[in-house]
Amino acid sequence: MLNIFNSIILGIVEGVTEFLPVSSTGHLILVSHLLKIDNTNFLKSFEIIIQLGAISSVFIFYYKHFFSIENLKKIFIAFLPTAIIGFTLYKILKEYLLGNILIVISSLFFGGIIMILIERRYIKNNENKLKISNNISENILEKDLLSLKNVSYKESFYLGLWQSIAIIPGISRSGSTIIGGLLMNLKRETIVHFSFLLAVPTILSASLYDLLKNYKTFSIENFQILATGFITSFIFSMIFTVWLLTYIKKHNFIIFGYYRIIIAILFFIVFYI
């Protein structure tokens, strides 16, 4: 049963993993199974709506950039593919994909392999550019990246297409966006910042849509559980958003690929062996 204590645990999991390329939804599903929480309709809604806490932290860090018309246009273009695919396949996602641990484990495993291969290709193709970029002032670099001027409208649309793949639990919204960005040879920092900004309309629309469709079935206790998960995920995502922004300035995404593979193998052993 999903209670306040479990809500806190899942809130921590959500806050830590939402913006890392490791699939927060996948982790929520796996941890829910470990905690032996019944795979009810409310749990599925909880796993979607709790993400509002995470994006609230992003809005605090990035709110100024939502006042840029240029940024908003690129975010909207990137959001369209996810919106169309997400709303069209909502019932399939809710009934068949959320809660399916085999899909989650498979997505984590193969997504990890792909991330490692794509990152190594990116490093090989951009070795000289990476050396030059390390000499650029961090302040100047961040200002340019946050304006999204390094991302074209065409690239914005393609990043949105890549993000839409993450409707499959375990793929990772940020992970699929990162892979797409690396294939287009965008700077890692640019991809991460764009992924953060794109998360706001994506998660906000998905959470509100699910809430509007199901709130009448929620009890007062359900809302208390949602509020607890929201607050917990908000606090921990604030911490790990800062950590990721610091980490990515000097590191690549390969470690996350290996993490995905290892965690997939561990959970496969736990649940199937």
Average pLDDT over residues 87-111: 89
Structural tokens at position 152 = 């074209």
Residue 128 has pLDDT above 80, yes or no: no
pLDDT digits (tens, 9 = 90+) for 3-49: 999 999 999 999 999 999 999 999 999 999 999 999 899 999 999 99
Q: pLDDT value at position 243?
A: 92
Distance separating alpha carbons of residues 64 and 67, to the nearest angstrom = 6
**Range of lowest pLDDT (100-114, 124-138, 245-259):** 124-138
Task: Decide: helix, strand or coil at residue 260.
Answer: helix
pLDDT at 231 over 60: yes
The set of residues, in sequence order, having a beta carbon less than 8 Å from that of 94 and lying 6+ positions away, is 41, 44, 210
pLDDT of 125 strictly over 70:
yes
pLDDT in tens, 135-188: 443 443 344 445 588 899 999 999 999 999 998 999 999 999 999 999 999 988
Give the residue with greater pLDDT, 177 vs 66. Answer: 177
Lowest mean pLDDT among 30-44, 144-158, 199-213, 226-240: 144-158
Could you give the residue ranges of the DSSP H alpha helices within 89-150?
A: 90-92, 101-125, 127-133, 138-146
Residue 27: domain span: 4-272
Percent of the chain with pLDDT over 70: 92
Query: What is the number of structural domains in the chain?
Result: 1
Looking at residue 207, its pLDDT comes to 93
Question: What one-character DSSP code corresponds to residue 136?
Answer: S
